[in-house]
Amino acid sequence: MEHFDLIVIGTGSGLEVSAAAADGGMKVAVVEEGPFGGTCLNRGCIPSKMLVHVADVARRIAEAERFGIHAAIERVDWPFIAARTFADIDQESADILQANRDAANITVFEGYARFVAHKQLDVGDSQISADTIVIAAGTRPWLPPVPGLAESGFHTTDTVMRVAELPRRLTILGGGFVGAEMAHVFGSLGTEVTIVTRGAAMVRDEDRDISRALTEAYARRFTLVLGSEARRVTRTEAAVRIDVGPSGEPDAGVSRVIECDACLVAAGRISNADRLAVEATGVETDERQFIRTDEFMRTNVEGIWALGDIVGRYRLKHNANLEAAHVAHNILNPEELRPVDYHAMPAAIFGSPQIGSVGMTEQAAEERGIPYAVATYAYDQTAYGQSIEDSDGFVKVLADPSSGEILGCHVIGQDASVLVQEAVNVMRFRLPIDVIAQSIYIHPALPEVMQAAFSSVAQQVAQSRSEAAPGPDR
């Protein structure tokens, strides 16, 4: 058995830790079962956003007539689109692997890893151990226990972006961010898309007004089967047949049969902790099998750390990067541990319309009994928003009526992921809404909608403070 100073399992954000440790002179083992670079590079955010851009281009062409430009899409060359998407990605993955093979102080182990004893791993035919271990092995798609699904030849995000040809009809099981993005991609390129989701709306984790707006927009583009779930999947020579029934949730749907050429399961993701058999080294997981860590990213076992999606706090690449930077620092500086500050963690959904969000939703504020001021401002109430005719777009802001700090900001519409970043930056440093409300904005530009929304909520905060102020002594 070969012993190392550090083992890093997973080559997404975990590589930040292994590189820092190797540069610091530690003897490091890097373990990876799949392609180097992790989920984000190979089958997640990078390829999906490259395809989203293609879909955005197609949408612009399809809607050009609204602006007096008569254009048409003559042909969609999916093999070219897929090759363009993955040529650079596959090369980058190969380059990352080679760079790790060539790096001083790093030994690469390619294969399936599994704990067999305390701080001991089997990786293929190799047995390795280390004083310090970082688990950054991510998640995998969750497959609902639907009879016939396993035999149907379904897709997940691991496979759907590499299909040989565009399906004529695609059914997506799941109405979260993956379903929203993949519906936009394939629907914009000519596929007939049906979305089956258990709830009464799409992207239910978002603010309720955002969820409602996206659901309405998608209902105009796709077939939405809400309040429903797959009961059985059958593949015939001609099609995939999906029997759908009510989900049992409020506003449940009705029974129906959907026939399609391909089925995408986008029903969530589960931790890979079980595949690693982390219990063999004593690492605790929660009820969903995500690894428990403290504020420094330490597990309950001394010397074993975890980060990223396998921890499950925020399953976002930028969150994993934040955690990785802290783990690297904390391992190399044990006398100066730094806790991770998750305040103002943003997220985006790259559908059409786009969504950008940070902080508390209105329903969360209500459930927790937190006082708030709220304002909404529509894109088309601004000059630029009017020019692009974005009737779905708006900005929604929640603020603390006493301090004026941002509680949450939610944007839907063109460039929502860009616009929300301004609120993220102000919120991250716990600055008041006036930083945005009283700034100078270029006119006419789309960010004016942010200023308008923040100015509106600032007026409410000022009114709230005025009402709370003591009156003059009599």
State the burial class of residue 190 (Cβ atoms within 10 Å of its Cβ: 0-12, 13-18, 19+).
middle
Local structure of 289: helix, strand or coil:
coil
Residues with Cβ within 8 Å of 289's Cβ and at least 6 positions away in sequence, in order, are 270, 271, 273, 274
Local structure of 214: helix, strand or coil:
helix
Per-residue burial over 232-268, b = 16 or more CB atoms within 10 Å of its CB, e = otherwise? ebbeeeeebbbbbeebebeebbeeeebebbbbbbbbe
Region for 436 from its dihedrals, namely left if φ exceeds 0, alpha if ψ lies in -120 to 50, beta otherwise: alpha
Largest CA distance in the chain: 87
User: In angstroms, what is the C-alpha Rg of the chain?
Assistant: 24
- Spatial CA neighbour of 293 closest among 337, 254, 260: 337
For residue 244, the cross-strand partners are: 230, 256
Contact yes or no for 461/433 (Cβ under 8 A): yes
Report how far residue 454's alpha carbon sits from residue 382's, in angstroms, rounded to the nearest whole number. 14
Region for 163 from its dihedrals, namely left if φ exceeds 0, alpha if ψ lies in -120 to 50, beta otherwise: beta
Enumerate the active-site residues: 443
Going by their DSSP bridges, the two strands 169-173 and 355-359 should be labelled as unpaired
